[in-house]
Chains A and B, each alone.
Chain A
């Protein structure tokens, strides 16, 4: 239980990164399912076992991880309310077991996966990623997950599949925000096939070495670190391979302000605010926003020849 105690995280004593690596080692050495809380024991054990043999981060970054307390208390998850604190207050009602994700559309082996199956689909990896919100703030988050490509390969996409559409849970009983027509529910997101197959795009199931919390999109969410945060859909229940570009929630809500691609781009302003700088949560000064959120070396080639001002 040591790992769950916030006392371990006193930010004044040691830097979060050091703690994080301590915790990492703890998981590696102990590898105990007891770490993951008894409420989700069965699936927890699968996750804990997987976390035990975790592969190291593919692309190490220098940035310091954002303190866990901020990552789990400052969230945009409109199904639970529009204020940043709302998800942490209200998402406790989200039942994440049983959970299935249907993968369908233009593929040879459409099927549904239980969360237990998904946890065993591929070795879990730790990924320390920058997360840049379209509102101008950012975090650095240690995720645990596996490449989205592993899931897509499992259903054998057909050549005609050009896009991947993601739908997330919309259950008015568990999600108070669904009552209000703020966005189109269920929340939908999408990626182009080559973006979805990119090794940086992952499905995350853990955060800071623990099972994902509801406010962060439990039990399984997308993380696409070179795009604005809203592209990384939470609590996914359906993935569809299709030929047409999916209508994504924010682009439907306000097509002038949000596009399909929504790549982090300091040169393309949001009409109402600048995207040139960002406030890293926990920092006083602002920092310059990096092209593709600092992942240009890895992903810029996906967009060669495209006018990124038009395809925002």
Chain B
């Protein structure tokens, strides 16, 4: 692999970040432009609900891709892009939720509460969103320092649950053709599977590396 890709300079990483920032804005700009030019089709509000939901889920899965990709490709610096993807996922989820609250329900709080309690697809979508909030709120360096790495990591493990809830949300809302949610489910399974596999590999490696240290003290005790 080319050296600049393997260990990019600080400037190169900054450029990557700027490029990613702009890239993640494209769906929003495109939706805004099509809204403005009245080319979102016959039902623009539905198109916005779907567009923001789709991108929230895609960016969430993209953020979950960073860790396995970094390991497989041997590109540790990719880690520096993860926060932006996660925050953008939250950003699109927030737009999605706002679209629902405002353009779909017109802040009819009774109707919204009923939906959240009684319609399973909304219940899980809402749960995913609520779980995303603390993650977004702790996605800056001071929060990580304040929490401490371990606690922060434990908190952010809920992203796996969020991924599952989001895919279930999609699965339960489609009327009949489950192709799309099945594709997302497959990707999610691969991403979570990669982690499980990595952890299992790590456990075995440790087992193999440490049999003596583990056994000896016990033997000594017995003696």
Interface residue? A279 (CB, 8 A): yes
Q: How many residues of B contact A (CB 8 A)?
A: 17
Q: Check B177–A85 contact: CB distance below 8 A.
A: no
Interface residue? B46 (CB, 8 A): yes
Between A69, A78, A85, A274, the greatest number of chain B beta carbons within 10 A of the residue's beta carbon is seen for: A274
Interface residue? B200 (CB, 8 A): no
Instruction: Name the contact of B111 in the complex, choosing from A84, A135, A274 (C-beta under 8 A).
Output: A274
Instruction: Name the contact of A135 in the complex, choosing from B41, B42, B106, B175 (C-beta under 8 A).
Output: B175
Q: How far apart sit A253 and B120, CA to CA, in the bound complex (Å)? A: 19
Instruction: Name the contact of A137 in the complex, choosing from B43, B114, B175 (C-beta under 8 A).
Output: B43
Instruction: Name the contact of A85 in the complex, choosing from B41, B106, B121, B175 (C-beta under 8 A).
Output: B41
Smallest CB separation, B187 vs chain A (Å): 20
**Residues on B with beta carbons closer than 8 Å to the beta carbon of A74:** 41-43
Interface residue? B213 (CB, 8 A): no
Q: Check B176–A279 contact: CB distance below 8 A.
A: no
Q: How far apart sit A137 and B42, CA to CA, in the bound complex (Å)? A: 10
**Residues on A with beta carbons closer than 8 Å to the beta carbon of B175:** 135
Interface residue? A173 (CB, 8 A): no
Q: Check B106–A285 contact: CB distance below 8 A.
A: yes
Residues of A74-115 at the interface with B, using a CB-CB cut-off of 8 Å, are 74, 78, 82, 84-85
Instruction: Name the contact of B41 in the complex, choosing from A73, A82, A183, A285 (C-beta under 8 A).
Output: A73
Instruction: Name the contact of B172 in the complex, choosing from A180, A253, A272 (C-beta under 8 A).
Output: A272
Q: Check A82–B177 contact: CB distance below 8 A.
A: yes
Per-position binary interface string of chain B over residues 170-207, scored 1 when its CB falls under 8 Å from any chain A CB and 0 otherwise: 00110111000000000000000000000000000000
Interface residue? A55 (CB, 8 A): no
Q: Check A272–B119 contact: CB distance below 8 A.
A: yes
Interface residue? B31 (CB, 8 A): no
Per-position binary interface string of chain A over residues 272-303, scored 1 when its CB falls under 8 Å from any chain B CB and 0 otherwise: 11101001011001100000000000000000
Instruction: Name the contact of B176 in the complex, choosing from A85, A137, A183, A282 (C-beta under 8 A).
Output: A183
Interface residue? B69 (CB, 8 A): no
Q: Taking chain A's interface residues, is the majority helix, strand, or loop, or is none over half, making it mixed? A: loop
Interface residue? A30 (CB, 8 A): no
Q: Check B106–A286 contact: CB distance below 8 A.
A: yes
Closest to A82 in B: B177
Q: Decide: A272 near B176, CB < 8 A? Known: A74-B43, A137-B46.
A: no
**Residues on A with beta carbons closer than 8 Å to the beta carbon of B106:** 285-286
Smallest CB separation, A214 vs chain B (Å): 17
Q: How far apart sit A273 and B176, CA to CA, in the bound complex (Å)? A: 15
Instruction: Name the contact of B173 in the complex, choosing from A84, A180, A272, A276 (C-beta under 8 A).
Output: A272
Instruction: Name the contact of A180 in the complex, choosing from B42, B46, B114, B177 (C-beta under 8 A).
Output: B177
**Residues on A with beta carbons closer than 8 Å to the beta carbon of B115:** 274
Instruction: Name the contact of A84 in the complex, choosing from B42, B45, B114, B177 (C-beta under 8 A).
Output: B42
Q: How far apart sit A78 and B121, CA to CA, in the bound complex (Å)? A: 23
Q: Decide: A282 near B119, CB < 8 A? Known: A180-B177, A253-B176, A274-B111.
A: no
Closest to A83 in B: B177
Interface residue? A70 (CB, 8 A): yes
**Residues on B with beta carbons closer than 8 Å to the beta carbon of A182:** 176-177
Smallest CB separation, A84 vs chain B (Å): 7
Per-position binary interface string of chain B over residues 83-123, scored 1 when its CB falls under 8 Å from any chain A CB and 0 otherwise: 00000000000000000000000100001001100011100
**Residues on A with beta carbons closer than 8 Å to the beta carbon of B121:** 272
Q: How far apart sit A58 and B207, CA to CA, in the bound complex (Å)? A: 83
**Residues on A with beta carbons closer than 8 Å to the beta carbon of B114:** 274
Q: How far apart sit A127 and B16, CA to CA, in the bound complex (Å)? A: 59
Q: How far apart sit A70 and B44, CA to CA, in the bound complex (Å)? A: 11
Closest to A271 in B: B119
Q: How far apart sit A84 and B121, CA to CA, in the bound complex (Å)? A: 21
Q: Check B176–A73 contact: CB distance below 8 A.
A: no
Q: How far apart sit A84 and B175, CA to CA, in the bound complex (Å)? A: 13
Q: Check B119–A273 contact: CB distance below 8 A.
A: yes
**Beyond A85-B41, A274-B111, 9 additional pairs, beta carbon < 8 A:** A73-B42, A74-B41, A78-B177, A137-B43, A180-B177, A254-B176, A272-B119, A273-B119, A281-B43
Residue positions of A touching B, CB distance < 8 A: 69-70, 73-74, 78, 82, 84-85, 135, 137, 180, 182-183, 253-254, 271-274, 276, 279, 281-282, 285-286
A-B contact pairs, 24 of them (CB 8 A): A73-B42, A78-B176, A82-B176, A82-B177, A84-B41, A84-B42, A84-B43, A137-B43, A137-B46, A180-B177, A271-B119, A272-B120, A272-B121, A272-B173, A273-B119, A274-B111, A274-B114, A274-B115, A276-B111, A279-B43, A281-B42, A281-B43, A282-B42, A285-B106
Residue positions of B touching A, CB distance < 8 A: 41-43, 45-46, 106, 111, 114-115, 119-121, 172-173, 175-177
Q: What 10 A-B pairs come out closest when comparing CB atoms?
A: A74-B42, A70-B42, A82-B177, A281-B42, A182-B177, A182-B176, A272-B119, A137-B43, A272-B121, A281-B43
